[in-house]
Amino acid sequence: MSGDGEPMTVAHFNCRYGFSPGAALAALIGAGADVEEMNSRLADLKLVPGRLSAFTGCSGHGLLYTGVKVQPLAGEQYPAEGLVKELKARGLDAGALERFAQVMEQLSSYYQARLAGPVYLSDKLLVEILGTVLALESLQAAKLFVAPLPLDSAGGGLSGQSFNVLALLNGFVVGPAAGQATIITPTGAAILKGLAKPDLQMPGLILRATGCGAELAEGGKTGGKPGVNLAEPIFKALVNVVLGEPVSGNVQAGKISEEVLLMETAIDDMNPEYYPYLMARLLEAGALDVYLKHIIMKKGRPGVMLVVVAREDRQESLLQIIFSETSTLGVRLRTERRRCLHRELITVQTSYGAVRVKLAREEPGMRPLRCSPEFEDCLTRARDQQVPLQNVYRAALLAAESWLEKQP
């Protein structure tokens, strides 16, 4: 069993006009994060009633942006302490939970140094933070980088809020805000500190998607047609995000090369019936690949070598699964480099329904070396239509080849 093995996706935030959870979430939605999927996962948690709805707007200067609203709002307050354990108990997946925990760690430390009592989150803020980590998971963004950050300098000096957030931004490049007194909110700073790195460390990217997200200031104009804001807005924060695949060496050559983490452990005393569940959990938590090898261990005992391939940021969550679901006492870790073909998903129409097909290219723009129908799509269509699986697979392959012949 293996994961999709896709090249790593990197998200780069440009926060020249401020950064807030609402603007970051809107930018990720603009870049392709699925709002319906996020609302479904929020509903499954049964923690907060608020749901997300996105809208698009256009400023008088022709800037197209995405905004997001949280509704309904009951005005409830949620204690920050214990939220991570609560969400784990309610089934938030490991990758999103780990990111949420990193944000809460930064946010709690920030407010605990300034407040005598416990820290509480509004229902709106909680949904925005959860939405942001769910959006990053939806887009499979393994790493986050951020451009130099603006600090509000209205009145000739740093405002109180901008000065306070400096405590969360050690190691980041900062500078004066570009306009409209935009700011980095404390929660926005906690997201950046917990999840992102300065773009001084960012590799070159092959561009895949972009999004521009806005959070309007209170009282900002919101007129215009339903779903499209044509009035001149007043922004609280405006965030641009770029998603792409990192490249090393010659960026123009289009070769994808990245470091991956290999995790290995030898097991000889575990019920083999547990392995399918273990492998499924590891893949759901973000492993790129999981496989088993039969080995002979000391004293001639037959055993199994569990091998997990992952990106470094998934190390702790995957280790937790391995230690809790297996009998092992230790895991070997090492990094290796891998070269990847460029992958691209297209959707083709067959007589059995729509099927996604993966194209593999040596470089962007080159003719694919191979194409492969997505197995789960074929399986779904075969079950729905009560036809042999191989019939659906062949139909999807023929449709993809026909599509490729029509391409320039």
- Give the CATH architecture of domain 256-340: 2-Layer Sandwich (3.30)
What does the domain layout of the chain look like in residue ranges?
17-248, 256-340, 342-405
Q: What is the dihedral of CA 122, 179, 144, 3, to 10 degrees?
A: 80
| Beta pairing, strands 235-247 & 9-17 | antiparallel
β-pairing, 332-340 vs 256-267, is antiparallel
3-state secondary structure of 84: helix
The two structure tokens encoding residue 408 = 């320039």
Cα–Cα nearest to 70, from 89, 30, 42:
42
Name the CATH topology of 342-405.
Ubiquitin-like (UB roll) (3.10.20)
**Cα 401 to Cα 378: distance, rounded to the nearest angstrom:** 16
Copy the structure tokens of residue 181.
């007194």
Is residue 111 very low, low, confident or very high in pLDDT (cuts 50, 70, 90)? confident
Work out the pLDDT band at 335, boundaries 50, 70, 90. very high
Q: DSSP 3-state assignment of 136? A: helix
**Which residue do the tokens 């700073």 mark?**
189
pLDDT over 70 (residue 219): no
Q: For residue range 364-390, what is the model confidence (pLDDT) as tens digits?
A: 778 888 899 999 889 999 999 999 999
| Lookup result for tokens 């950050």 | 149
Asked if the model's pLDDT at residue 394 lies above 50, the reply is yes
- Contact of 32 with 139, CB cutoff 8 Å: yes
* Distance (Å, whole) CA 216 – CA 139: 24
Whether 85 shows a pLDDT value over 90: the answer reads yes
DSSP single-letter state for residue 243: E
With bands split at pLDDT 50, 70 and 90, how would you rate the model's confidence at 249? very low
- Predicted confidence at residue 7, as pLDDT, reads 62
**56, pLDDT greater than 50:** yes
Which pLDDT does position 57 carry in this prediction? 87
pLDDT the model gives residue 73: 84
* Ranges 15-29, 52-66, 238-252, 299-313: which has the least confidence: 238-252
Give the confidence band of 304 by pLDDT, cuts at 50, 70, 90.
Answer: very high
Cα–Cα separations (whole angstroms), residue 317 to 59, 96, 145, 332, 334: 42, 10, 21, 15, 16
Q: How many angstroms separate the CA atoms of 266 and 328, rounded? A: 7
Concatenated DSSP letters of 12-68:
EEEEEE-B-HHHHHHHHHHTT--HHHHHHHHHHHTS---EEEEEEEE-TT--EEEEE
Listed residue (361, 216, 44) closest to 224, CA to CA: 216
Question: Do 256-340 and 342-405 agree at the fold level?
Answer: no
The mean per-residue pLDDT over the stretch 26-37 comes to 94
What is the predicted pLDDT for the residue at 42?
95
Q: Helix, strand, or coil here: 99?
A: helix
Predicted model pTM: 0.63
Order the strands of the 353-361 sheet from edge to edge: 342-350, 353-361, 370-373
- For the stretch 135-167, pLDDT in tens is 999 898 988 999 888 766 543 344 455 567 777
Place of tokens 């698009």: 56
